[in-house]
Copies of this chain bind each other. A is one copy, B any other.
Amino acid sequence: MSILVVGSVAYDNLDTPHGKRDDVLGGAATHFSTAASFFTPVHVVGVVGSDFDNAHLEFLMSKGIDVSGIKVVEGGKTFRWTGKYFDDINHRETLDTQLGVFATFDPELSEQHAEEPFLFLANIHPSLQLKVLDQMKEPKLVAMDTMNLWIDTTREDLQKVIERVDMMFINDEEARMLTGDLNVSVAAKKIMSWGPKVLVIKRGEYGALLYTEDSVFAAPGLPLSDVVDPTGAGDTFAGGFLGYVAKTGDISKATLRRAVICGSVMASFQVEDFGLDRLRELTTQEIDKRFGIFKELAHFEAAPLF
């Protein structure tokens, strides 16, 4: 099955211990769709300015991604994020955010897009997420992401979105903020009581927790000696996860657990280079091989202990 993603398409200016890069192709929808495209067809709805290099659209199309929903605003500027990563690559600071044409983003879905079976609401204003939801015909599965900004400022709309989705991606810090519970397990149960049947709590280098109605799965993070650029790792994770679920068309526990690993695999590649560069030449053989590395990383044999 195919996926519709609604979210940002952006330029990133990055300052990292591995160097500086400007005008790097970024944005949640871009990262998500590129990762998901390895598994299933993806349609993107977003907006860019006339400063957006056509080569980027061509790259997305080369991955089989439908970019007909990316609106180009003549004379407008593409959303631009400027950030600095510290020596401890897990810490970053936003230096500048220029919303540009994203400030007036008002997603209107084509008839075809409104009929997509899978929907991923990337991290955009909750009122826009609601607007997208209202336009969808009968999606089989809706997943969402969000961020601390909306938890702080737009809590009421955010709550409405959460109550209408099947699946939510959130990091542990945001889960604590959202619920007021310091314990992640308690926070997870509270969020699921609001609606989502599947909850993925992202924990950066520590991996992710997958909560379903009757079980929890702890996926490891792959210990990497060298992380070049973590920007977009969360969206890449969501893309790998949902891409695999959409490909199988199944939400069994076994599939969801493998999906967490697919997400982790894609994110582990993505952070190896700036922006999407590592994913540009990535092959399905490499993905399969790294899935095996995760299997080996997490594997132990049961045996009677006594």
| A305-B244 CB under 8 A given contacts A206-B206, A295-B300, A300-B257 | yes
A302 touches B297 (CB 8 A): no
Q: How far is the CA of A72 from the CA of B45 in the complex (A)?
A: 74
Interface string of A271-306 (1 = CB under 8 A from B): 000000000000010011001100111111111111
A225 touches B284 (CB 8 A): no
Q: How far is the CA of A295 from the CA of B89 in the complex (A)?
A: 31
Neighbour of A297 across the interface among B183, B206, B216, B223, CB < 8 A? B216
CB distance from A300 to the nearest CB of B (A): 4
Neighbour of A185 across the interface among B223, B244, B302, CB < 8 A? B223
| A206-B203 CB under 8 A given contacts A217-B300, A297-B217, A299-B257 | yes
A300 touches B216 (CB 8 A): no
CB distance from A243 to the nearest CB of B (A): 10
A291 touches B302 (CB 8 A): yes
20 other A-B residue contacts (CB within 8 Å) besides A89-B182, A185-B224, A220-B298: A39-B305, A89-B183, A183-B224, A184-B223, A203-B206, A207-B218, A209-B223, A216-B297, A217-B298, A218-B220, A218-B298, A219-B300, A257-B299, A258-B305, A261-B300, A284-B305, A287-B305, A291-B302, A291-B305, A298-B300
CB distance from A269 to the nearest CB of B (A): 14
A302 touches B295 (CB 8 A): yes
Interface string of A207-244 (1 = CB under 8 A from B): 10100000111111101111100000000000000001
Q: How far is the CA of A205 from the CA of B216 in the complex (A)?
A: 15
CB distance from A28 to the nearest CB of B (A): 23
State the oligomeric state as a number of copies: 2
- Tell me whether A254 is interfacial, beta carbon within 8 Å: yes
How many of chain A's residues have a CB under 8 angstroms from any CB in B?
Answer: 52
Q: How far is the CA of A299 from the CA of B297 in the complex (A)?
A: 11
- Tell me whether A87 is interfacial, beta carbon within 8 Å: yes
Q: How far is the CA of A183 from the CA of B86 in the complex (A)?
A: 12
- Cβ contacts A to B, 29 pairs, < 8 Å: A39-B306, A183-B224, A183-B225, A183-B227, A184-B223, A185-B224, A186-B225, A188-B223, A203-B206, A206-B207, A207-B218, A215-B296, A217-B298, A218-B220, A218-B221, A218-B298, A220-B220, A254-B300, A257-B300, A258-B301, A258-B303, A258-B305, A261-B300, A262-B305, A287-B305, A287-B306, A288-B306, A291-B302, A292-B302
Neighbour of A254 across the interface among B88, B227, B301, CB < 8 A? B301
| In the complex, the 7 A-B pairs of residues with the closest C-beta atoms, listed nearest first | A218-B220, A257-B300, A206-B206, A185-B223, A185-B225, A284-B306, A88-B182
Chain B residues positioned under 8 Å from A260 (CB to CB): 300
Q: How far is the CA of A186 from the CA of B224 in the complex (A)?
A: 9
